[in-house]
Amino acid sequence: MPNQFTRRTLLTTTLGVGAFAALSACSSNTSLPSVSTSAAPGQPTAAAPLTPQAYDALILAGPVASDAVIAASPWAQAIKAQGFLRRGGAETSAIFSLKDPTTGRVTGFDAGLGDLLSRYITGGQDVAKLSQLTQVTSDTRETVLQNKTVDTVIATYSITPQRAEKITFAGPYYSSGASIQVKSDNTTIHSVADLEGKTVVTQTNSTGITAVDANVKNAQKLLLADNDSCIAALIQGRADAYVLDQSILLSNAVRNSQVKVVGNPFTTDPYGIGLNKDATDAKAFVNAFLQTIYDSGVWLNLWKGTVGRFLETAPTPPAIGSVEGS
């Protein structure tokens, strides 16, 4: 039975991760992650999200750079002087970067990386004040870096040679892949082969475009500006399927019961941390930070409490500088 993920999973789960220390070890492999199917055939199991206290404990367990390391990087010195990291990202991605309307806190895998990077630089103890978020879309990510509105963009930002001509990428820090989202009551689309001749929506300036062009025969592409517009087009029936990174589509399924993810990723999509090209020392600094949280296990613990709630195996962190454009 094809893998599928819907919001219903969250209503039936009995697993939990009540504290940072309780995050259990997972086996590693280098393949793209698959949707967890331990609850029932075709139905993944989701563990409970990290509590605010557990999230804060995880961030505060992250490393802090020495004074000498900071002194060697003008980019890091400037961030330490301002006292927080200005991050470009999202606030509606349920797994990667989601804002709690009650507290105003933004948490998730990307948000956590931003908070860990800020703590590494500033040594801050108040997790809620480590990062300042500027919302970005696939059309504005390069712009906010180029005009220095933000210090970095951490936003499921796929590394491509074309983007690397405009900005600098550190990483990659995670690998996802293009997947398929359909309406929850759809019973005819299970894999990329089923998209032939269908209307497929994806975001402008996204890797979803090349994924569709390279893998779907006779597709009619509908290009829209942002994730919410693509979900709306799918639900309204203006598109048969939505193709984008699996990570983003899983987030959609968490927060919207009208859509589900089917099949497994059919491309490889490495995510990088976007930086301004003028900050020539920033890439080496951020890559050293990433290697530190890889080696210490902090990266894996963050993955387990966010993305790992919905995927059955923990991936090995991708090798830094391993893809074109990084």
| pLDDT digit string, tens, across residues 44-93 | 445 677 899 999 999 999 999 999 999 999 999 999 999 999 999 999 88
Question: What confidence tier does 3 reach under pLDDT thresholds 50, 70, 90?
Answer: low
Structure tokens at 33: 């992650």
CATH superfamily, domain 178-262, is Periplasmic binding protein-like II (3.40.190.10)
Q: What is the pLDDT of residue 52?
A: 93
Phi, then psi, of 216 in degrees rounded to 5: -120, 125
Do the domains 178-262 and 4-176+269-315 match in fold? yes
Task: Say which CATH class 4-176+269-315 falls into.
Answer: alpha beta
Domain ranges of the chain: 4-176+269-315, 178-262
Distance between CA atoms of residues 62 and 230, nearest Å: 36
Q: What is the pLDDT of residue 6?
A: 57
Question: What confidence tier does 4 reach under pLDDT thresholds 50, 70, 90?
Answer: low
Structure tokens at 105: 């806190």
Q: In this structure, are residues 23 and 15 in contact, taking their beta carbons and an 8 Å threshold?
A: no
Question: What confidence tier does 20 reach under pLDDT thresholds 50, 70, 90?
Answer: very low
Q: In this structure, are residues 16 and 49 in contact, taking their beta carbons and an 8 Å threshold?
A: no
Q: What is the pLDDT of residue 272?
A: 98
CA within 13 Å, CB half, 173: 35
Question: pTM of this prediction?
Answer: 0.79
Closest CA to 76 of 165, 152, 144: 152
Q: In this structure, are residues 270 and 323 in contact, taking their beta carbons and an 8 Å threshold?
A: yes
260-282 pLDDT, tens digit per residue, is 999 889 999 899 999 999 999 99
Q: In this structure, are residues 33 and 268 in contact, taking their beta carbons and an 8 Å threshold?
A: no
Tell me the C-alpha to C-alpha distance, in Å, between residue 85 and each of 79, 122, 148, 155, 241: 6, 9, 12, 14, 36
Q: What is the pLDDT of residue 286?
A: 99
Distance between CA atoms of residues 317 and 140, nearest Å: 27
